[in-house]
Structure 1
Amino acid sequence: MEFRVRVSGRIAKPVHEVFEAVADPAKLSGFFTTGGAKGRIAPGAVVTWDFADFPGAFPVRVAEVIEDQRIVLHWGAAPGTASDPSGDTTVTMTFEQLEDGRTLVTILEEGWLPTEEGLKASFGNNEGWTGMLCAMKVYLEHGINLRAGFYK
Structure 2
Amino acid sequence: MTRPSFRIAGRIAKPVSEVFEAVVNPDRLSAYFTTGGADGRLETGVTVHWDFADFPGRFPVRVARVEKDREIVLSWAAHEAGEVSSTGKMPEAAGYDTTVTMTFEALEDGRTLVTISEEGWRETPGAVKASYGNCEGWTQMLCALKAWLEHGVNLREGFYR
TM range (shorter): over 0.9
Instruction: Quote the residue 1:110 is aligned against.
Output: 119
Deviation at 1:53, TM superposition (A): 1.5
For 2:56, what is the secondary structure of its paired residue? strand
What code does the residue aligned with 2:72 have?
Answer: I
For 1:135, what is the secondary structure of its paired residue? helix
Instruction: Quote the residue 1:8 is aligned against.
Output: 9
For 2:32, what is the secondary structure of its paired residue? coil
Deviation at 1:79, TM superposition (A): 5.1
For 1:5, what is the secondary structure of its paired residue? strand
Q: Is the 8 A contact 2:100 2:118 kept in 1?
A: yes
User: How many angstroms apart in 1 are the aligned matches of 2:76 and 2:68?
Assistant: 20
RMSD: 1.4
Q: Is the 8 A contact 1:79 1:87 kept in 2?
A: no
User: How many angstroms apart in 2 are the aligned matches of 1:80 and 1:74?
Assistant: 18
Question: Structure 2 residue aligned with 1:126, among 116, 135, 159?
Answer: 135
Q: Which aligned pairs between 1:1-40 and structure 2 lie closer than 5 A?
A: 1-40=2-41
Counting strand residues as a fraction of each chain, which structure ranks higher?
1
Instruction: Quote the residue 1:135 is aligned against.
Output: 144
Instruction: Quote the residue 1:144 is aligned against.
Output: 153
Deviations 1:71-97 (A, max 9, x none): 00000111589xxx9511000000000
Q: 1:120 to 1:113 in 2, by over 3 A?
A: same
- Where do 5+ consecutive residues of structure 2 fail to align? 83-93
Q: Is the 8 A contact 2:80 2:127 kept in 1?
A: no
For 1:101, what is the secondary structure of its paired residue? coil
Q: Is the 8 A contact 1:112 1:122 kept in 2?
A: yes
Q: Which runs of 4+ in 1 moved over 2 A?
A: none
Question: Structure 2 residue aligned with 1:95, among 80, 101, 104?
Answer: 104
Q: Is the 8 A contact 1:50 1:58 kept in 2?
A: yes
User: How many angstroms apart in 2 are the aligned matches of 1:49 and 1:151?
Assistant: 17
For 2:66, what is the secondary structure of its paired residue? strand
- Give the structure-2-normalised TM-score: 0.89
Deviation at 1:151, TM superposition (A): 1.2
User: How many angstroms apart in 2 are the aligned matches of 1:114 and 1:69?
Assistant: 30
- Where do 5+ consecutive residues of structure 1 fail to align? none
- What percentage of aligned pairs have identical amino acids? 64
For 1:104, what is the secondary structure of its paired residue? strand
